[in-house]
Structure 1
Amino acid sequence: MARPIARWGVILGLGALWWWAVLRLALAPEAGALEAAVAAGGWGLSLLPVHCVPKARAVGAVDPRRWAEAWRRGRPTKASPHRRSDAGSAPS
């Protein structure tokens, strides 16, 4: 019971801090870098995905062992390597 209450307290506190920073930036001529950083940080957090699921339950997720196996084998593709800048030009 205490965990959800504490979580909501933190969420509401950070939301109030963000709104304070945004309103101060908009209305107060002496607003500075602190308010801008808080407002930008809160906006950046809003860009994070909120509908995340564990990789094991995600549709179309690739098994991590498959990636590890490809890494151990070396070159997982048969594509030709990039030329180095000092390798010279290709024959015409």
Structure 2
Amino acid sequence: MAGIGRWGARGAALGLGVLWWCAAVRLAVVPEAGMLEAAVAAGGWGLSVLPVHCVPKAQAGGAHGAGPRRG
């Protein structure tokens, strides 16, 4: 997200989070809530379980070698 900048990315994440919460609350409270709210809620939950911060151990900052650990 080099082009968006640090605050733009945070604003986008905040906006999408608010959108997800509104859809989830509307789906739980309003009897007439439909497929759009369900799709937004399911899509947001699906994105939340993606392991986006996982990297191979060799590339992780402060990674230890593959040898035995010393306490």
How many residue pairs end up in the alignment?
58
2:22 equivalent to 1:23: no
1:7-86 superposed matches below 5 A: 7-53=9-55, 57=59
Tell me the CA shift for residue 47 of structure 1.
1.0
SS of the residue 2:19 aligns to: helix
| TM-score, normalising length: structure 2 | 0.70
Q: Quote the RMSD (CA, aligned, Å).
A: 2.1
Structure 2 regions of 5+ residues with no counterpart?
A: 64-71
Larger Rg: 1
SS of the residue 2:5 aligns to: helix
Structure with more relative contact order (C-alpha pairs < 8 Å, separation 6 or more)? 2
Tell me the CA shift for residue 57 of structure 1.
2.1
Find the aligned partners of 2:9 and 2:56 in 1 and give their Cα distance. 21
Tell me the CA shift for residue 56 of structure 1.
6.0
| TM-score, normalising length: structure 1 | 0.55
